Structure 1
């Protein structure tokens, strides 16, 4: 929904939601992908899926692998020029279907020590289990499910992270 559209991606715990909130606080138009776009579906076809097939032992890994955004909805939002700038913030396993729509892609990164501290604050979050934490740490190490883009270190304060992103828009 912008004349210029930017994707802010990153693994769990890297600060996508915090960055989105700070961008909104500064008056930017933001699409919270994990809240308003994401659903569990087939990354190739976009077909919604009810859950893992019978017998899938790694339910959490399956759910992460099938967290997608509707390509037609992303295309529609990008085509709307109501706002001068729109930031799409969140993770999607089918990003390869719409990366070409964005002017720039920012990938939030963090060191493993800071990530562990952030994850320590999540144990009571609904659905957050030790197996999920292990998966997040594995994906952090492998960078699986992340697009290429401009890497942004999110170990600092949220305002400084947003400043780092905004300086690269020009």
Structure 2
């Protein structure tokens, strides 16, 4: 949706939603990927999947996380729309390798393990990362960085949110310095 498109990634709890909300507050065009683009699917084919029956998978948190993907056709469509000067796609997807080439820059929000632990401890049980098994999975993913894009600009997301967003916008160059057009965010589905 932008002449320039940016992806903001990070482990669950790194601050993607908070960054998205601050970008929106500043008038930037934001796509909440985990709400508008995500579903449970096969990361290779994109085919939608039904959640397993209770007891059918020993580690449901890991199963769901591994299949949390974005609709590639929709990402391509949104990235091709040039009605905004810049668009920020915020969220995480296991199939990012299928669309990462569409972004002018990729940012990964980086936090330390203690900050991650504190943020996850504050989550409600019905939010991903709110249950002990989910927190253990996220801690492992944080340690290994296995799900994150390999070629990205790391942003210290332990700083106050205003500084985090200032850093992202400064790295967007001249496009980041201009005020973005304010269009309503895309939000349709909830996180798992």
TM-score range, shorter chain: over 0.9
Shift of 1:57: 0.8
Shift of 1:15: 0.2
Shift of 1:58: 1.0
- Distance in 1 (CA, whole Å) between partners of 2:161 and 2:83 is 27
- Distance in 1 (CA, whole Å) between partners of 2:126 and 2:58 is 22
Query: Equivalent residue for 2:167?
Result: 164
Question: What per-residue deviation string (whole Å, max 9, x for no partner) do you get for residues 39-86 of structure 1?
Answer: 000001100000137732111101000000010000000000010000
CA-atom RMSD in angstroms: 1.3
TM-score (norm 1): 0.96
Aligned to 2:123, the other structure's residue is in SS state coil
Question: How many residue pairs get matched?
Answer: 170
Are the equivalent residues in 2 in contact too, given 1:5–1:86 (CA < 8 A)? yes
- Distance in 2 (CA, whole Å) between partners of 1:12 and 1:126 is 10
Are the equivalent residues in 2 in contact too, given 1:52–1:63 (CA < 8 A)? no
Query: Equivalent residue for 1:112?
Result: 113
Query: Equivalent residue for 1:147?
Result: 149
- Distance in 2 (CA, whole Å) between partners of 1:119 and 1:90 is 16
Aligned to 1:14, the other structure's residue is in SS state coil
Aligned to 1:7, the other structure's residue is in SS state strand
Structure 1: runs of 5+ lacking an equivalent: none
Shift of 1:126: 4.2
Query: Equivalent residue for 2:34?
Result: 34
Matches within 5 A, 1:126-141: 126=127, 128-141=130-143
